[in-house]
């Protein structure tokens, strides 16, 4: 793939933003390979994502940041620029369920995810052999009511030690402590086996069955201190009927879970998701 710099911007909406950025890139002969824009007219906010051929510019990533900084200040921008050649470092977290973890590992092994999976952290040993096959370090950190503080301190140390860019909860089934959510805000992705905001919390398929719904689904979202209420990245649904049992719903739901999670992770890795308050703008 062509090496690119990915410039992602959000700022108060006003005239001249696109012109200023385009003029900046033109001045340095920047070759735009992809451009996306969105104006939130209700809240007066503007969002932008540009991919620029790295080879077309006369500077490296640090030089880009230095040259662009005055424009960012002028327009009060929240912005990042990343190099597609620098693969994000990802830690996956799991429990006993294998479908989401196995799907992500397969996609990574098949070069579908442009990232480096540096470790898997789990609270059971069940998935170790599968992870070992991929030559990825596996850390089992058991958690119970008595050792939660110590266990999460160990997990935080592991995540820090791997210089992690993104944590993915692949059906981890544990609530992260508030401090960890705060430290890694916007860098922890979860899959919830429900079409949020319906049926948050534990056993959503049981809740859906009792409610008699005709659609079940899955939600990929960023983790915050508020359980299952973080900004949503992606969702999907599956139609069911009165004849489906809870077991049917769990089986069917797994397909949605792994697909939605993989899609959300890929969008994040490619810098296509911009968080604004408790919502997201997703450039696909």
Q: Give me the helices (H) in the chain, please.
A: 17-27, 61-74, 99-109, 128-133, 148-161, 178-183, 204-211, 246-269
Contact predicate 84/5, CB 8 Å: yes
Query: Residue 148 is encoded by which pair of tokens?
Result: 């939660």
Q: Annotated catalytic residue: which of 103, 165, 228, 234?
A: 228
What single DSSP character describes residue 271?
T
Number of other CB atoms surrounding residue 132 within 10 Å: 12
Active site residue 135: no
The string of DSSP codes covering 130-199 is: HHHHTT--EEE----TTTHHHHHHHHHHHHHHTT-SEEEESS--SPPPHHHHHHTTTSEEEEESS-TTTT
Contact predicate 131/138, CB 8 Å: yes
Which residues does residue 222 pair with via DSSP β-bridges, in sequence order? 189
Contact predicate 127/120, CB 8 Å: yes
Contact predicate 64/25, CB 8 Å: no
Q: Give me the helices (H) in 197-245, please.
A: 204-211
List active site positions: 228
């Amino acid at each position: 793939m062509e090496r690119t710099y990915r410039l992602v911007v959000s700022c108060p909406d006003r005239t001249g933003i696109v012109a200023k950025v385009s003029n900046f890139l033109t001045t340095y002969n920047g070759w735009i390979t992809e451009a996306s824009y969105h104006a939130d007219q209700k809240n007066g906010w503007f969002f932008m994502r540009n991919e620029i051929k790295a080879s077309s510019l006369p500077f490296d990533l640090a030089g880009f940041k230095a040259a662009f900084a005055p424009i960012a200040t002028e327009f009060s921008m929240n912005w990042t620029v990343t190099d597609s050649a620098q693969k994000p470092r990802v830690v996956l977290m799991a429990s006993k369920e294998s479908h989401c973890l196995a799907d992500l590992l397969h996609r990574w092994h098949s070069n579908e995810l442009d990232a480096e999976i540096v470790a898997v952290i789990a609270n059971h040993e069940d998935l170790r052999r599968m992870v070992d096959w991929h030559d990825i370090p596996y850390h089992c950190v058991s958690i119970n009511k008595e050792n939660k503080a110590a266990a999460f301190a160990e997990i935080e140390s592991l995540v820090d030690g791997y210089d992690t860019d993104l944590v993915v909860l692949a059906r981890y089934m544990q609530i992260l402590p508030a401090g960890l959510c705060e430290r890694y805000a916007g860098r922890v992705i979860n899959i919830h086996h429900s079409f949020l905001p319906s049926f948050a919390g534990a056993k959503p398929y049981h809740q859906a069955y009792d409610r008699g719904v005709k659609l079940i689904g899955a939600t990929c979202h960023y983790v915050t201190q508020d359980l299952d209420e973080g900004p949503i990245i992606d969702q999907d649904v599956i139609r069911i009927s009165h004849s489906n049992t809870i077991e049917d719903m769990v089986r069917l739901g797994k397909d949605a879970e792994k697909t939605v999670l993989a899609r959300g992770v890929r969008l994040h890795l490619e810098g296509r998701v911009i968080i604004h308050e408790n919502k997201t703008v997703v450039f696909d």
